[in-house]
């Protein structure tokens, strides 16, 4: 079965989305809800954090 191509995100878009999450968190929004606001699943977000931490 052929693999689907992965999306390539621009650095500017990633930074803008992280800033949006930061604003939502500072307003008292739960983490999972803030992550969903940028259309990312919590699993994908935490998997990416794990990959970039090491």
Q: CA torsion, points 7, 8, 10, 15, in degrees to nearest 10?
A: 60
Give a yes or no: residue 31 inside a domain: yes
* Structural domain includes residue 3: no
Residue 30 lies in a domain: yes
Residue 22 lies in a domain: yes
Domain count, the chain: 1
Q: Are 38 and 21 in contact (CB under 8 A)?
A: yes
Mean local confidence (pLDDT), 6-16? 79
Mean pLDDT value of segment 14-28: 89
Average pLDDT in the chain: 78
What pLDDT, in 10s, does the model give residues 28-44? 999 889 888 888 776 66
């Amino acid at each position: 079965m052929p693999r689907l191509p992965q999306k390539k995100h621009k650095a500017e878009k990633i930074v803008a989305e992280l800033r949006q999450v930061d604003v939502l968190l500072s307003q008292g929004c739960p983490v999972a809800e803030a992550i969903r606001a940028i259309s990312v699943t919590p699993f994908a977000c935490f998997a990416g954090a794990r990959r970039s931490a090491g």
